[in-house]
Amino acid sequence: MRIEEDIKLDFKDVLIRPKRSTLTSRSEVDISREFVFRHSRRKYHGIPIIGANMDTVGTFEMAGALVPQGLAVALHKHYKESDLEAFFGQRSADATIFYSMGITAADYDKFRRVADAVGDAIEYVCVDVANGYTKSFVDFLGKLRAAYPRITLMAGNVVTGEMTEELILDGVDIVKVGIGPGSVCTTRKMTGVGYPQLSAIIECADAAHGLGGLICADGGCTSPGDLAKAFGGGADFIMLGGMLAGHDESAGEVVEHEGGRKVRFYGMSSRTAMDRYAGGVANYRASEGKEVLVDYRGPVEGTLQDILGGVRSACTYVGARRLKELSKRTTFIRVTQQLNEVFGRS
């Protein structure tokens, strides 16, 4: 047993220090980024925020709302082959839409059939497992990369620099970072395993950037300020679940609850999801996600404006004309309090 004594940080532990700036308006800020991916060698230009590959967020409808605004979506993995073929078959290749899968033989075979059917239309692939530290995950990525050298591959999740480096050397373009921070995740409670998300981002970004790779900060953002902190800490992309839940495009069931309209939102390893897709929770495992009711919030467009406006404003406060400059201009200060809650928490 060993104890690491240095302090690891979450979003709630810091604020971003303002800096002198010549920017006069947030409209002068460009929050898009350009990348050339390390392995696929493809170019990307967009607003690097990705709707999570959860069946209540990563939907065709969400793609329809986010992609025209320059954002991205990772489709959930439970769509039928025929639906995926129809969807990708009619997309132009410059839209940032990830095909998502796990690492079973069935996942791989399904991907091969869909990819064969739609030609080059699948440019981005997300391979997602709860624990990105296993040999079977690494082996799967090696096989996929060898067979598809031109796909832009995002994979995870991990939270440490050494595993980030390993994945990038194995062929991953974007390493997905986060174990346990998600809004409907109970991994930390069920297993005691995890890593404070901001420190995970800082450490994994440093490791990835040293090798010409990228990271996606996945989970734990609860407000636009958290996105600013994730980008400030070095995240190249950010994946959002809960912040995009509860909208018309989110595909959750709308229910009446205590006089208000609510939407069911649940983790992809929750009992709800396993009942729906895996015939229940297998007897050797526990559910590591929960179901909640979130407020119904109408079209996602309004939420999007809040998120993008918050990130733009953060850039203005530190004098970053472009999102790319935000992390260079970020100094985090450690705090013991975030908000004045005298009138409530919102």
Query: Toward ligand 5GP, which CB reaches closer, 152 or 270?
Result: 270
Query: Toward ligand 5GP, which CB reaches closer, 8 or 271?
Result: 271
Q: Rounded to the nearest whole angstrom, what is the least distance from the CB of residue 200 to ligand 5GP in the complex?
A: 12
Among the options 185, 216, 221, 315, which is catalytic?
185
Query: Toward ligand 5GP, which CB reaches closer, 58 or 213?
Result: 58
DSSP 260-309: EEEEEEE-TTBHHHHHHHSSS--TT----B-EEEEE----HHHHHHHHHH
Contact 81, 114 (CB under 8 A): yes
DSSP 228-265: HHHHHTT-SEEEESGGGTTSGGG-PPEEEETTEEEEEE
Go through 185-218 and write b for each residue having 16 or more CB atoms within 10 A of its CB, e for each that does not: bbbeeeeeebbbbbbbbbbbbebbbeeebbbbbb
Residue 112, C-beta contacts closer than 8 angstroms, at least 6 positions apart: none
Distance CA 75, CA 3 (A): 39
Query: Toward ligand 5GP, which CB reaches closer, 36 or 193?
Result: 193
Q: Rounded to the nearest whole angstrom, what is the least distance from the CB of residue 82 to ligand 5GP in the complex?
A: 25
- The residue length of the chain stands at 346
Return the half-sphere exposure (C-beta side, CA atoms, 13 A cut-off) of residue 65: 21
Contact 269, 289 (CB under 8 A): yes
Q: Rounded to the nearest whole angstrom, what is the least distance from the CB of residue 54 to ligand 5GP in the complex?
A: 5
Q: Rounded to the nearest whole angstrom, what is the least distance from the CB of residue 307 to ligand 5GP in the complex?
A: 12
Q: Rounded to the nearest whole angstrom, what is the least distance from the CB of residue 273 to ligand 5GP in the complex?
A: 7
Asked about 315 being catalytic, the answer comes back as no
Distance CA 109, CA 97 (A): 20
Query: E strands of 17-135, at which residues?
Result: 33-36, 43-46, 49-51, 72-74, 97-101, 124-128
Q: Rounded to the nearest whole angstrom, what is the least distance from the CB of residue 65 to ligand 5GP in the complex?
A: 17
Distance CA 92, CA 162 (A): 36
Query: Toward ligand 5GP, which CB reaches closer, 165 or 218?
Result: 218
Distance CA 191, CA 193 (A): 5
Q: What phi and psi values does residue 44 have, to the nearest 5 degrees? A: -125, 140
Query: Toward ligand 5GP, which CB reaches closer, 96 or 157?
Result: 157
Q: Rounded to the nearest whole angstrom, what is the least distance from the CB of residue 69 to ligand 5GP in the complex?
A: 18
Query: Toward ligand 5GP, which CB reaches closer, 218 or 236?
Result: 218
Residue numbers at the binding site for ligand 5GP (CB under 6 A):
52, 54, 130, 157, 178, 182-185, 187, 218-221, 239-243, 267-270, 288-289
Active site residues: 185
